[in-house]
Amino acid sequence: MSVHPIEYRYFTSEMKQVFTEENKLQKWLDVEAALARAHAALGDIPKEAAEEISKKASLKYVKLERVKELEEEIHHDVMAMVQALSEVCEGDAGKYVHLGATSYDIVDTAWALILRDAIEIISSKLVSIKNVLLDLASKHKETICIGRTHGQHAVPFTYGMKFAIWASEINRHLERIREGKKRILVGKMSGAVGTMASFGKKGFDIQKTVMQELQIREAEITNQIVQRDVYAEIIFLNALVAATLTKIAKEIRNLQRTEIGEIFEPFTKKQVGSSTMAQKRNPHRSERVCGISRVIIAYTIPTLENAALIEHERDLTNSSNERIIFPESFILLDYILTEMISILKGLEFNYQNIQKNLELEGGLYMSENIMLKLVEKGLGRQEAHETLRQIAIKCRQENIPLKKAILEHPKLRPIVNEKELDNWLDPKQYIGTAVEQVEKIVNKLKN
């Protein structure tokens, strides 16, 4: 019976497979096989033994059920795997399994293999969402909307810039991941406290050969484990991506508000918004993204505590929570990335409401442009600002448009004519380099 929602609700099969017990066991076996081949290459064990260990280091021979059965008896998961592998090896090959290694030589090196696959999936999804955002940016580079700061109308903006800003942020995450992999995807083969004593004078060669076999980097120096700042970095990167997805999802939620109604997440013909209010069209998918992001972000706290290592050359306080943190962080992040890609691809625009909101305050959002134009007419900047501030108060109190208030103002009437004022009030004339900025980002980032 399933208990956790990542088992039956918040997952994709692709990422879930990366963190199954079977895949983790196979990665452990892959490390054991690489260790055996390294020993054989350096003349420590017979080549035939290494070949046998490599052949049997597979779920075809080492069954998860048998490993669990052994773990129930000995209360040590890695040693249970070692015994299960040893007992299926023919001849005397079994006695060379795990030679010189400590448990976390296997576990942490296997984590690098698992995280490599997980990071590849996340990176692929980030590329997808970036490209969707770039398409939206290009399509809407001239779609003018009201810009908002502090929840209030500011000056004209474009939807193209909104999407381009998000795409640029996603691209920074990709850059962070690419740069961080050299630190994150590392393994070790250095023994009980990191001295490599169990490998004699061949410690450096053993570690180098194993990591070359597995195509990952060597950790520079360790005690019993890879230092946990390494894993804190990838969990923080996941949290940064989740924060960006929250930013996007929250913006969609706010813009879908009844009072704004400019864009909407997809809504199918048979979809139900509320069990009692039949008219509701709730942005539930965007809300889900925001909710799950909180969990992903929260995992930065235990990973920071893990980085402290607590006692000497290590204790086990990191082990138990990492079994939770790593799978959940990646499975949940992959899920909300997939959700957001779908949301953005199906985003609906209400152009009538976009225009209505531009006109909502009778042109007040063009006050900055008019202030600058009045300066060109000879007014001081502060004088023009104060005059328009007072006019804005009058417009709101008397519910009149800005144009009317300006044309009736005794100080401005002599220096402003209606034709030029209409031009000043046109939002198309006050979006600066917005279109060019979008084009620049699209040309730079489009794959």
Check pLDDT > 90 for residue 252. yes
Position 279 confidence tier, pLDDT thresholds 50, 70, 90: confident
Q: What is the pLDDT of residue 277?
A: 86
Query: Do 137 and 164 contact (CB within 8 A), yes or no?
Result: yes
Q: Which domains does the chain have, with CATH numbers?
A: 5-96 (1.10.275.10), 103-356 (1.20.200.10), 364-424 (1.10.40.30)
Catalytic residues: 150, 274
| Weakest mean pLDDT among 241-250, 273-282, 313-322, 430-439 | 273-282
pTM: 0.94
Triad 251, 257, 260: Cα angle to 5°: 90
Region 266-286: mean pLDDT is: 86
Q: What is the pLDDT of residue 410?
A: 93
Query: Do 184 and 231 contact (CB within 8 A), yes or no?
Result: yes
Question: How does pLDDT run across 386-399, given as a tens digit for each residue?
Answer: 999 999 999 999 99
Beta bridge partners of 217: 186
Question: Tokens in use for 228?
Answer: 């946990």
Q: What is the pLDDT of residue 271?
A: 80
Compute the residue count for the chain: 447
Position 146 confidence tier, pLDDT thresholds 50, 70, 90: very high
Q: What is the pLDDT of residue 385?
A: 97
Check pLDDT > 90 for residue 194. yes
Q: What is the pLDDT of residue 413?
A: 92
Check pLDDT > 90 for residue 311. no
Position 49 confidence tier, pLDDT thresholds 50, 70, 90: very high
Crossing angle (nearest 10°) for helices 103-139 and 317-345? 20
pLDDT over 70 for what percent of the chain? 100
Cβ-based neighbours of 172, under 8 Å, separated by 6 or more = none
Region 214-219: mean pLDDT is: 98
Question: How does pLDDT run across 224-246, given as a tens digit for each residue?
Answer: 999 999 999 999 999 999 999 99
Average pLDDT over all residues of the chain:
96
Check pLDDT > 90 for residue 139. yes
Q: What is the pLDDT of residue 1?
A: 83
Question: How does pLDDT run across 88-109, given as a tens digit for each residue?
Answer: 999 999 999 999 999 999 999 9
From CA 402, how far away is CA 446, in angstroms rounded? 41
Buried residues in 125-136 as b, exposed as e (16+ CB within 10 A): bbebbbbbbbbb
Region 361-373: mean pLDDT is: 96
Check pLDDT > 80 for residue 200. yes
Question: How does pLDDT run across 153-192, given as a tens digit for each residue?
Answer: 999 999 999 999 999 999 999 999 999 999 999 999 999 9
Check pLDDT > 80 for residue 310. no
Q: What is the pLDDT of residue 83?
A: 98
**367 or 315: which leads in pLDDT:** 367
Q: What is the pLDDT of residue 278?
A: 83
Q: What is the pLDDT of residue 127?
A: 98
Region 35-52: mean pLDDT is: 97
From CA 335, how far away is CA 6, in angstroms rounded? 9
Region 48-62: mean pLDDT is: 98
